């Protein structure tokens, strides 16, 4: 891997979590203890994976919940970027993450979601390595299905849409020639509803 390729990780945590009803925000929901992790929130487990991956600086994009709400205001191992336009769609949060990566002088940004606690550190590393090795877009796959995280080389940042909720998916559909699929282990399932949470708690 070329050492000159600087990587910046971005965790999108700005959404309203509107499908998770009557019991608080989904990112604050508790997950049971595992062999590898203590009992913790959905957000904490998702964030722990990217921090453990050690691929570069980590920025959390906040919105509906603040850094204080998420418990990271005083952390020194992650930075926060607040997206004032979070309600306008996920791409506004992606753009906030790209701004942070640009300020950091990054060549590659790796983006994941804060509500996917089954993503493993190896997945973050694998897509980052693929982008540093030449892929313009490197997307994690799980049993052949594309999911997160996604690594984007700075060469394609200006090709991304400026609005909407699809993140990089629109660009991947339009420019399949730029995409490298990276098989990963772990689970890309997100927690959007109380039913999703119950399934996690029972597994």
Instruction: Write the pLDDT tens digit of every residue in 174-191.
Output: 999 999 999 999 999 887
Domain assignment of residue 203, yes or no: no
Judge whether 99 lies within some domain: yes
Is 191 within a domain? yes
Q: Does residue 31 form part of some domain?
A: yes
pLDDT digits (tens, 9 = 90+) for 140-159: 999 999 999 999 999 999 99
Question: Concatenated DSSP letters for 62-126?
Answer: ESSS-HHHHT-TT-SS-EEEE-TTGGG-HHHHHHHHHHHHHHTT-SEEEEEETT-TTB-HHHHHH
Structure confidence at residue 21 (pLDDT): 56
1 within some domain: no
CATH of the domain at 21: 3.90.550.10
What's the pLDDT band for 15 if we cut at 50, 70, 90? Answer: confident
Domain region containing 56: 7-198
In whole angstroms, give the CA distance from residue 78 to residue 75. Answer: 6
Question: pTM of the full predicted structure?
Answer: 0.92
Q: How many domains does the chain have?
A: 1
């Amino acid at each position: 891997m070329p050492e000159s390729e600087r990587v910046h990780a971005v965790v999108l945590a700005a959404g309203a979590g509107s499908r998770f009803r009557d019991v608080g925000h989904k990112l604050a929901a508790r997950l049971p203890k595992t062999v590898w992790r203590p009992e913790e929130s959905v957000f904490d487990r998702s964030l722990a994976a990217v921090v453990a991956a050690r691929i570069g600086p980590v920025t959390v994009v906040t919105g509906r919940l603040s850094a204080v709400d998420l418990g990271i205001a005083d952390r020194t191992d992650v930075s926060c970027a607040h997206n004032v336009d979070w309600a306008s769609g996920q791409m506004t949060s992606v753009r906030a993450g790209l701004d942070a990566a640009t300020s950091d002088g990054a060549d590659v940004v790796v983006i994941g979601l804060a509500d996917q606690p089954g993503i493993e550190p190896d997945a973050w590393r694998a897509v980052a390595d693929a982008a540093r090795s030449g892929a313009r877009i490197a997307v994690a796959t799980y049993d052949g299905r594309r999911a997160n995280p996604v690594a984007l080389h700075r060469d394609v940042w200006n090709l991304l849409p400026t609005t909407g909720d699809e993140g990089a998916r629109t660009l991947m559909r339009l420019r399949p020639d730029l995409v490298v699929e990276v098989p990963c282990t772990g689970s890309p399932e997100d927690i959007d509803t109380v039913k999703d949470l119950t399934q996690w708690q029972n597994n």
